[in-house]
Amino acid sequence: MKTRRIGPFEVSAIGLGCMNLSHAYGTPPPRDVAAAVLNGALDGGITLFDTAALYGFGANEELLGSLLAQHRERIVLTSKCGMQGVNGQRVIDGLPDTIRASVEASLKRLRTDVIDVLYLHRLDFKVPIEDSVGAMADLVRAGKVRALGLSEVSAATLRRAHAVHPIAALQTEYLLWTRNPEIAVLDACRELGIAFVAFSPLARGFLGGELRDVSKLEPKDIRRAMPRFSAEHYAANLKLLDAFQDEAARLHCAPATLALAWLLQKGDDIIPIPGTSRPEHLWALIAAPQLQLDGATLQRLDALINRHTVSGARYNAATQAEIDTEEF
């Protein structure tokens, strides 16, 4: 496994986003299957594991704590504060007291004394970013967190936060069909020496190639509320997927491997964190750092799937109103 850097840490070039082991995409897998995913990732050389207080309203952190505690010295463990479940509802709260309490609870669930990278999950528009990051910086000084990150924020917010305490990583969605980071925040990360962690790099399963019928998504699957997965837009997007799969077949690789390889070649400061709930899919993720794409292939992929060719918005209007990232 090739490696890249996040702040003081050397991590695998591909991390594992653990959200869907407990959250968001319908019924989570059984515990033994989740364990097989985590252990398979470890065996494949993955050392970066990403979770959040929100995922499963604490269940995902508990899962990782119970299964990865014995491997704690081998891994870089990241989690997020600032968005969590309160009385069964998702709440964005960046107040310093809330952040401190959230992290104490996360440490217990994760069965660790320290979180390697703590992200602010979402900007709370009611709380100055300086106050939220100031509370997170206090946790670094207390030895409960090693490095800080931000999730889904703009370049301007990133700069304000970095002025309070060095930011090691910026996490946001980046892949063929979501190019928003190219507006400003990716350049800001490079100017400031901040690692870019790309979540949902497989388009929430779309680029894996197996999701053909969105009508079969479970009622609580969050993709049901995302315009690109609506029946209206998905039919158009499937035409792009057919051509993308043809490209993967030409290269004798899995579609997921191709999607991740494209992203890895966008810069050695980019670390994708794909997720899966199926251990048999891990090989396609782990293979990506070894796949080198030539210039002609990169150009074809860029022309095939981009913000002009994809049908539908990334988020619905209500969710987009909560997001601080730049939009085209």
pLDDT the model gives residue 65: 98
Q: Which residue has the tokens 């996040």?
A: 6
Q: State the CATH architecture for 3-205+255-291.
A: Alpha-Beta Barrel (3.20)
Contact at 8 Å (CB) between 156 and 45? no
pLDDT the model gives residue 308: 97
CA-nearest of 173, 187, 196 to 307 is 173
pLDDT the model gives residue 206: 97
pTM of the model: 0.97
pLDDT the model gives residue 236: 96
Angle between helices 96-110 and 129-141 (to 10 degrees): 40
For residue 83, which phi and psi values (nearest 5 degrees)?
-150, 125
pLDDT the model gives residue 194: 98
The helix/strand/coil state of 115 is strand
Q: Domain residue spans in the chain? A: 3-205+255-291
The answer to whether 55 is a known catalytic residue is: yes
pLDDT the model gives residue 289: 98
Of 25, 55, 119, 315, the active-site residue reads: 55
CA-nearest of 56, 60, 124 to 92 is 124
> The tokens of 31 are what?
């515990």
- pLDDT tens, N- to C-terminus, the chain (328 residues): 999 999 999 999 999 999 999 999 999 999 999 999 999 999 999 999 999 999 999 999 999 999 999 999 999 999 999 999 999 899 999 999 999 999 999 999 999 999 999 999 999 999 999 999 999 999 999 999 999 999 999 999 999 999 999 999 999 999 999 999 999 999 999 999 999 999 999 999 999 999 999 999 999 999 999 999 999 999 999 999 999 999 999 999 999 999 999 999 999 999 999 999 999 999 999 999 999 999 999 999 999 999 999 999 999 999 999 999 999 9
| Element at 136 (helix H, strand E) | helix 129-141
Angle between helices 231-250 and 295-304 (to 10 degrees): 170
pLDDT the model gives residue 41: 98
Residue 196 DSSP symbol: E
Residue 252, phi-psi category: left (phi > 0), alpha (psi -120 to 50), beta (remainder): left
Angle, vertex CA 120, rays to CA 91 and CA 279, nearest 5:
90
Cα–Cα distance for residue pair 26/33, rounded to 1 Å: 15
User: Going along the chain, which residue ranges are E strands?
Assistant: 3-6, 9-12, 16-17, 48-50, 76-81, 83-86, 89-92, 115-120, 145-151, 167-173, 195-199, 270-273
